[in-house]
Amino acid sequence: MKKQIQIFDTTLRDGEQAPGFSMNKAEKLQLALQLEKLGVDVIEAGFPICSNDDFEAVKQIARHVTNSSIAGLCRASQKDIDRTWEAVKEARKPRIHTFIATSDIHMEHKLGKTRAEVLEHAKAAVSYAKDRCADVEFSAEDASRSDPDFLCEVFETVIEAGATVVNVPDTVGYGLPWEFGELIKFLKENVSNIEKAGLSVHCHDDLGMAVANSLAAVMNGADQVECTINGIGERAGNASLEEVVMAMKTRFKAFSHETGVISEELFPTSRMLSEITGIDVQPNKAIVGDNAFAHEAGIHQDGVLKNPLNYEIMEPQKVGVPENRIVLGKHSGRNALNNHLKRLGFQFTQKELDVVYKGFSRLTDTKKTITDNDLIYLSTNGVTEIGARFAHESIQNYLNK
């Protein structure tokens, strides 16, 4: 059955925690307003107990954002919850997001608590948060390495205590799509009161599977996906929002689910984040990388020029990229070169084009990036040997040699 998957953006919290990605208060507000424009359902604005700056940033975002819910993260303790509530309470749609670890590894080696103690903490935290805020999300940290039966018990307890969303983090990026999908299915079938809460997932990318795991979860009943712009986040990052959204949109028939994201805002949002943090995405990054809609191979260029559908599964404009790019380089063919030359105002006969192409091919042996100026130069002057150009010689003179 078709449903709208909730997109929970944690760029300003999990993303900002990553080395090199810190943002100041004004930058966080700027990005939050863009995330709202993008149409995300929930913006996790920060971890208010962490610092005064984080607290102030969350508070400011809560005051200015109206359409998206504003979540603040806190550990399962009253002090943390109070601070978070103070930060988000002015939001039109505030959410308290509290968490505690549920895996044996974390409970024993990090918290030094028994299962019963963790269960008690989770219940108390959610009840305390619920007395303040109607919308309470509970995360079972390291859920993917937790005992599934214990996870069911924890989720049943916190839903009973008032949690509106229960979240299954693959905290250490250990999950595999089929296993993680199975876990979601298991929880859907075995948490007796699951219909009273939304089921969320939060995947990290340590094995490069955060997006695949999130999508497997969607296929198995998850209602919310937590993700970040450009996939930034702790260590190898979180599931990339743009990839999750565009997978569901481009392959709608495979998922039958949609999101409320305005996909045309994906590229502008990605670029805004890069500008704010000073960290570019890698050129081959899906959806928003410089090369995502660039074609250099001759056969591909020829195919795209005949019909973009030959080599593009989505229109660049659908994700906010103005147009595809035919990159001229050593793999380019005559058709792409001619097309580019026409845009620069040159009309050549086949014979003339052969000559320009010969010069162009030689130039690409020595020069990686061919600019418009190079092409103008080649077209109006002439090339006789690698890199050697004879100024003031018209191409006609060159042809007559």
Nearer residue to Zn ion within complex by CB, 14 or 16? 14
Query: Min. distance of Cβ 211 from ligand KIV in angstroms?
Result: 15
Closest chain position to Zn ion (CB): 14
Given ligand KIV, Zn ion, none, residue 223, with its beta carbon under 5 to 8 Å by kind, binds none
Query: Min. distance of Cβ 180 from Zn ion in angstroms?
Result: 15
In terms of Cβ atoms closer than 10 Å to its own Cβ (0-12, 13-18, 19+), residue 169 is: buried
Query: Min. distance of Cβ 368 from ligand KIV in angstroms?
Result: 40
Among 14, 27, 41, 54, binds ligand KIV (CB under 6 A): 14
Q: How far apart are CA 340 and CA 209, in angstroms?
A: 39
Nearer residue to ligand KIV within complex by CB, 27 or 141? 141
* Binding track over 92-131 against ligand KIV, x by CB under 6 A: -------x--------------------------------
Query: Min. distance of Cβ 256 from Zn ion in angstroms?
Result: 28
Residue located via tokens 């990052």: 237
Q: Tell me the residue type at 203.
A: C
Residue located via tokens 């200015």: 64
Nearer residue to ligand KIV within complex by CB, 169 or 320? 169
Alpha helices in 287-394 (DSSP H): 298-306, 334-343, 350-366, 372-380
Query: Min. distance of Cβ 135 from ligand KIV in angstroms?
Result: 16
The answer to whether the beta carbons of residues 257 and 4 sit under 8 Å apart is yes
8 binds ligand KIV (CB under 6 A): no
Query: Min. distance of Cβ 202 from ligand KIV in angstroms?
Result: 5
Among 5, 11, 13, 14, binds Zn ion (CB under 5 A): 14
Nearer residue to ligand KIV within complex by CB, 123 or 202? 202
15 binds ligand KIV (CB under 6 A): no
Q: How far apart are CA 381 and CA 394, in angstroms?
A: 5
Q: How far apart are CA 4 and CA 13, in angstroms?
A: 24
How many other CB atoms are there within 10 angstroms of residue 131's CB atom?
11
Number of residues in contact with ligand KIV, rule: CB under 6 A? 9
Query: What tokens were used for 72?
Result: 């603040």
141 binds ligand KIV (CB under 6 A): yes
Q: Tell me the residue type at 170.
A: D
139 binds ligand KIV (CB under 6 A): yes
Nearer residue to ligand KIV within complex by CB, 88 or 375? 88
69 binds ligand KIV (CB under 6 A): no
Given ligand KIV, Zn ion, none, residue 139, with its beta carbon under 5 to 8 Å by kind, binds ligand KIV
Nearer residue to ligand KIV within complex by CB, 101 or 215? 101
Which region, judged by CB under 5 A, interacts with Zn ion, from 11-19, 51-59, 207-215, 317-325? 11-19
Q: State the first-to-last Cα distance of the chain, in angstroms, to the nearest integer.
A: 71
Query: Min. distance of Cβ 321 from ligand KIV in angstroms?
Result: 30
169 binds ligand KIV (CB under 6 A): yes
The answer to whether the beta carbons of residues 290 and 300 sit under 8 Å apart is no
Q: What phi, psi does 229 have (nearest 5°)?
A: -65, 135
Which region, judged by CB under 6 A, interacts with ligand KIV, from 62-70, 88-96, 167-175, 356-364? 167-175
Nearer residue to ligand KIV within complex by CB, 14 or 242? 14
Could you tell me where the beta strands, DSSP code E, fall in 37-194?
A: 42-46, 69-75, 94-101, 136-141, 165-170
Region 201-260 residues binding ligand KIV, contact defined as CB under 6 A = 202, 204
What does DSSP say about strands 388-389 and 383-385: parallel, antiparallel, or unpaired?
A: antiparallel
In terms of Cβ atoms closer than 10 Å to its own Cβ (0-12, 13-18, 19+), residue 132 is: middle
| Exposure of 110 in the CB half-sphere (CA atoms within 13 A) | 11
Query: Min. distance of Cβ 233 from Zn ion in angstroms?
Result: 6
Handedness of CA 183, 185, 187, 190 (dihedral sign): negative
Nearer residue to ligand KIV within complex by CB, 72 or 162? 72
Residue located via tokens 């090369």: 291
**DSSP code of 14?**
I
- Site residues for Zn ion per CB under 5 A: 14
- Site residues for ligand KIV per CB under 6 A: 14, 99, 139, 141, 167, 169, 171, 202, 204
